[in-house]
Amino acid sequence: MTSRRPRTARAAALLAVCVFAGVLTSPSAQALAGDTAASGSYNFTARIDVGGVRACSGTLINNQWLITAASCFTEDPAQATSLPAGAPKLKSTAIIGRTDLTSTTGESREITQLIPRTDRDLVLAQLATPVYGLSFLHPATAAPTAGESLKGAGYGRTKDTWVPDTLHSAAFTAGAVQDTTVDIDGTPVCKGDSGAPVLREKDGRPELAAIVTNSWQGGCLGSDETRTGAVASRVDDIRAWITENTASTLNNWNLQMLTRTSTGLYHAMRNSNGDWTGFGDVQKVAGTITDLAYAADAAIKGKNYVFAVGGDGRLYEANRRPTGGWEAFRDITDEVGSKPGLTRVAVTSTGSGLALIGLASGRVYHATQDADEKWSKWGDVSAKLGVLGNATQVTTAQTSGGDTQIGVVADKKAYHATRHSDGTWSAWGHISNLPTGLDAINGMAFAGTGSNLQIILTSPTGGKKHAIRADATGSWSAFGDLGSRLGNEPTISVDAASVTRELQAAVVTADGKVKHILRHDNGKWDATEQVTGYPGTPATIALTGSAD
């Protein structure tokens, strides 16, 4: 589209792309002109039905919110910016993540609340209950630029089918960028595509650049128009508004992520709506650790404690306060005792304090911090339970009842022991003797979810497994394959944490990616997301959960 008239005139000249009652001659939705989307792709896309008289497309931005065009919910699309907040006037439902509408994949939810913008054709739509196992499309941080290549997916009419049964994908080119909109041209945008996502690829993953609102509908079945241009509402400049207005479904717990990269140590947070903060430089605010070798973290009483092993084997502690400020790193080597050859640490909250596990010169050590933040000296776990040859990794987690669970990778095998609340220890258990499906282990991560211990194992060849140990009985579930979720690339680091009884895990792949996954308390998994924004190449990852 080449017209450069003012936005109101241009929008009036364009045809609205909502689907009205006379078009809904089949229970299946309609699909955006272009290529049929591959099965399971674009599973953040929603087909929205408004009272059986109107249908649009939408985008899942977290477990319980869609973003779409406000004109989907108004009888007169020209009055989109006058849409009132609150429950939709007509009963509205969304089917999310269903590429083929004749299948039963994806999720279906009623839309219970609308929060519209007043400056553009855009609305947030709250789902009655959360959805699981689907991808989110996070809003972009930068505006589209003229000439930029963009993509889209929607459930509108195609060039030759009135009511197709599949999601279709699209290729667009950005045109003029206005204060609240961007012109797009390319694949025809048809009735039913209003609210469809317009996305770009950034760092190997898609992000939401805009939402389709109006089009000429050139190339659509039943239209004699030849112009294929359309208008989309920008979202890059309203991220704060989106966060503020979806806060009603947030809890006050965040996932804290710590990654050591080729350039330093960085920290970010993920809230319960799936939004990430940027990565901040920990050493810039908490002090520099010479030859930083390894880092771990745990949270208690709102503080996020960070432990760093320096190149000299000395141990340092810092913490991030609930208000967001940092207390500087301090050397606690003398408090816990010097252990030459210290290379790895793992830490977990005990409810009133912290339990710290160290690996030094092939031996495993244990220390505790009490409620007054006083440290005990290292205790020699290997002396109690036996030396495990060629130990390379340690992990730890707390389960209800006060048990501290400890894991060690040694000779490419996985071992487990428990320090009970009374201070006694169980013997090493040989996890690798269980049917894990892995010939060799190079990584292990624990997280305590109530009385259960969640465990993730990785292999040098890329295998990834998950199981649960019931603390009450000591029995293990079968090991499930995580490769289909996290990918089969070899990993160099893995960690896990419990956040409001949800398992959150992350891996660093050998080719320098950080991937995150979440298992809900009901056993359902969210789609894997690739985390970006850290400087340098990641080497290790550490996770914990804390209330902020």
- Which domain, by its residues, includes 22? 7-245
Residues 213 and 320 in one domain: no
| pLDDT at site 116 | 98
Higher pLDDT, 546 or 2: 546
pLDDT value for 164: 67
Sequence-distant (6+) residues with CB within 8 A of 374 are none
Q: Look at residue 160 in the predicted model and tell me its pLDDT.
A: 67
Whether the CB-CB separation of 40 and 47 falls below 8 Å is answered with no
Q: If you average pLDDT over each of 158-162, 264-268, 351-355, which comes out highest?
A: 264-268
pLDDT of residue 192: 81
Last-in-domain residue among 245, 264, 285:
245
Report the pLDDT averaged over residues 245-267: 94
Residue 283 token pair = 């050493």
Residue 10 is predicted with a pLDDT of: 43
100 φ/ψ angles, rounded to the nearest 5 degrees: -105, 115
Residue that the structure tokens 């080719």 belong to: 511
Going by C-alpha positions, the residue among 290, 288, 270 that lies closest to residue 279 is 270
pLDDT in tens, 505-543: 999 999 999 999 999 988 999 989 999 999 999 999 999
- Summarize pLDDT for 100-154 with one digit per residue, the tens: 889 999 999 999 999 999 999 999 999 999 998 898 999 999 999 999 999 999 8
Asked whether residue 362 is assigned to any structural domain, the reply reads yes
Note the pLDDT tens digit of each residue in 20-52.
322 322 222 333 445 576 766 799 999 999 999
Q: Predicted confidence band at 452 (pLDDT cuts at 50, 70, 90)? A: very high
Q: What average pLDDT does this structure show over 368-375?
A: 94
Domain boundary among 245, 275, 296: 245
Where residue 75 sits, what CATH number does that domain have? 2.40.10.120
Return phi, psi of residue 68, to 5°.
Answer: -155, -170
Pick the range with the lowest mean pLDDT from 83-97, 219-233, 350-364, 388-402: 219-233
205 within domain boundaries:
yes
State whether the Cα torsion 194-241-93-168 is positive or negative: positive
Residue 9 in this model has a pLDDT that exceeds 90:
no
- Does one domain contain both 180 and 262? no
Which residue is associated with the tokens 């509108």?
156
Q: Is the pLDDT of residue 393 over 70?
A: yes
Q: Are residues 220 and 312 in the same domain?
A: no
pTM of the model: 0.85
Residue 129 has a CB neighbour count (10 Å cut-off) of: 11
SS3 state of residue 545: strand
Q: Do the domain assignments include residue 2? A: no
Domain at 366, CATH number = 2.120.10.70
Residues 532 and 511 in one domain: yes
Chain length of the chain? 548
The last residue of a domain, from among 245, 266, 283: 245
Q: Are residues 280 and 235 in the same domain?
A: no
Residue 322 · residue 302 · CB < 8 Å: yes
CB 385 within 8 A of CB 367: no
Q: What is the pLDDT of residue 23?
A: 31
Residues 257-266, mean pLDDT to the nearest whole number: 98
Residue range 331-345, pLDDT digits in tens: 999 999 999 999 999
Q: Could you report the per-residue pLDDT of 477-492, keeping only the tens digit for each?
A: 999 999 999 999 999 9
The count of structural domains within the chain is: 2
Dihedral in degrees, nearest 10, Cα atoms 484, 490, 491, 497: 20
Count of CB atoms situated within 10 Å of the CB of 3? 14
The rounded mean pLDDT for the chain is 89
Q: Nearest-CA neighbor of 139 among 211, 42, 71, 46?
A: 211
Name residue 521's beta-bridge partners.
Answer: none
Average pLDDT in the 292-313 region? 94
Listed in sequence order, the residues at least 6 apart from 432 whose beta carbon sits closer than 8 Å to its beta carbon are 413, 414, 415, 438, 441
The answer on 497 and 482 residing in a single domain is yes
